[in-house]
Amino acid sequence: MAANWKMYKTRAQARAFVEGFLPRLTARDVDVVICPPFLAIETVVGLVGGHPVAVGAQDVYWEEEGAFTGEVSPAMLVEAGCHYVIVGHSERRQLFGETDAEVARKLRAALGHGLVPILCVGETLEEREGGRTEDVVGRQLELALADLPAPAGQVVVAYEPVWAIGTGRNAEPADAAGVADFIRGVLARYLGGERASRIRVLYGGSVKPANIGGFAARPEIDGALVGGASLDPASFAAIVAAFSEPGGA
């Protein structure tokens, strides 16, 4: 269960969130990741120590160092305490022109430093209405995973239909589960069936406490990448709890 705070929360606000969230976190059988803005990463890391919560970044650059103004390297994220990093989020692709090739480079750079990339894939409304969901998602996965070394490390895949992000609309659980099943088939083709079976596939797109139950009930979906609803500690705690097994607290 990953929280993507996007460009929200100062360090003081991040502290207030964590202090409000941890007492509400009763599930111990769910992996929880918080991805704050870069400047709040160390604040969150310092507060979640000893709790079943990992910290991730929202983006990364593929170079080790150099004259790349405004970018952050994988080594910098590791030193700050990150274990995860989001790559290829639709907002990076749509707003900042990030290409599939660049996403692939970021994925490899993250893996090369022991970070777990949360690889985001998903189609636009136009692509969905044109019946091209599998073509688009398949291409994004193939370009990211092609020639990935066999012992490359752990990867998480998040299916986030672009048309459902921040719009209040969400995919129906059955539709999201169908795409998750398709994703696992592509993963098996590139990484082998055994390795693909261990990769978690998340759903993201206007996830909230009111609708998370339908996604949690689908065995094809292993968790969620949560945007706006992760900004409130009570809301995010309720979403995490939906994926907890009975007796898992």
For the CA atoms of the chain, what is the radius of gyration? Answer: 17
> CB neighbours (10 Å) of residue 24?
15
Query: Is position 160 annotated as part of the catalytic site?
Result: yes
Q: What are the CB-based long-range contacts (under 8 Å, 24+) for 38-43? A: 38/72, 39/10, 39/11, 40/5, 40/9, 40/10, 40/11, 40/13, 40/14, 41/77, 41/80, 41/81, 41/82, 42/80, 42/81, 43/11, 43/14, 43/15
Please state, in angstroms and rounded to a whole number, the distance separating the CA atoms of residues 102 and 100: 5
State how beta strands 84-87 and 116-121 pair: parallel
User: In the prediction, which pLDDT does 249 show?
Assistant: 45
Q: Maximum distance among all alpha carbons in the chain?
A: 51
> Both ends of the chain: CA-CA distance in Å?
15
Q: Are 185 and 212 in contact (CB under 8 A)?
A: no
Classified by CATH at the fold level, domain 2-59+70-242 comes out as TIM Barrel (3.20.20)
Burial class (CB in 10 A: 0-12, 13-18, 19+), 218: middle
The residue from 89, 113, 123, 220 that is catalytic is 89
- Per-residue pLDDT 10s for the chain (249 aa) are 999 999 999 999 999 999 999 999 998 899 999 999 999 999 999 999 999 999 999 999 999 999 999 999 999 999 999 999 999 999 999 999 999 999 999 999 999 999 999 999 999 989 998 999 999 999 999 999 887 766 567 999 999 998 877 777 778 999 999 999 999 999 998 888 888 889 999 999 889 999 999 999 999 999 999 999 999 999 999 999 999 965 444
Which pLDDT does position 16 carry in this prediction? 98
Which H or E run includes 18?
A: helix 11-21
**Which two three-digit tokens encode residue 201?**
């596939």
Query: Where in the chain are the domains?
Result: 2-59+70-242
- Residue 118 half-sphere exposure toward CB, CA atoms < 13 A: 32
Q: Is 194 a catalytic residue?
A: no
Which residue out of 91, 98, 123, 160 is catalytically annotated? 160
Whole-model pTM over 0.85:
yes
